[in-house]
Amino acid sequence: MNKVIAIVRKELWQYFFSPIAYIVLASFVLINSFVFYIVLAAMSKAASPPISPMALLFGGTFFFWLLLIVMIPVLTMRLGAEERKSGTIETLLTAPVSDFEIVIGKFLSSFLFYLLAWALTLVYVFILKSYDNVDFGPILSGYLGVILIGAFFISIGIWATMISRNQIVAAIISFSVMAIMVGMTFFSFILGSEKKELIQSIDLLAIMENFSKGVIDTRNVIYLLTGTVLFLALSVKSLEARRWQ
């Protein structure tokens, strides 16, 4: 556990001593604040808003998904690719630390940074509360969805950087995989009924919509957790293969 904590501390230190962290956080806050303001302004004119502004913030707009599939590859692209390119991965692999600990440490560092970014959006909840009564059920489930999908996407980013020697290549791979996952909903329109049902069961847009409405389907939770574990396992296997090269 101490080794994992050391890796997490090292990676977080590198995040905050590079401009990437501040650019990502600033972009994240600015875009989400813009979306929240526009949605809130539009809904304030309606006699009875059909949906909470927070629900739209949780996957209800194009910007939510764009932020995730751009932000996460940027956060994860250097975690393995840069070390492979510079040769420092060899030093890490010969250290008394397991492949599992390396992967988990790098995953947790990105995940904690991701949680920090979303923690900044809690100010929107207090703004809403000052205007009207807030139903915290959908908000809490919405944040749960954000956390689970974020963990899933970060695991994809970790896998992509572990199999790449170049940061840009790692970012492109993870971006492409995430974009395909998000785009599953569009494939359901062109496939037969049987395949359509299968795709809808892994449709991230539909899954996030459920979370934003306060619906926590255990199948959705299991799917996202399984996907996270799968890509982390693939990342560990990639490191194991690297040891034997």
Q: What is the pLDDT of residue 36?
A: 80
pLDDT score for 119: 93
The answer to whether 224 and 149 are in contact (CB under 8 A) is yes
Other beta carbons less than 10 A from residue 172's beta carbon? 15
Weakly modelled stretches of the chain, pLDDT under 70? 42-54, 81-95, 131-134, 187-200, 242-245
Asked whether the whole model's pTM tops 0.95, one would answer: no
pLDDT at 225: 96
Look at residue 85 in the predicted model and tell me its pLDDT. 61
| Structural domain count, the chain | 1
* Residue 52: per-residue pLDDT: 64
Q: What is the pLDDT of residue 43?
A: 65
Residue 119, classified by CB atoms within 10 Å of its CB into exposed (0-12), middle (13-18) or buried (19+), is exposed
Supply the range of the domain harboring residue 114: 2-243
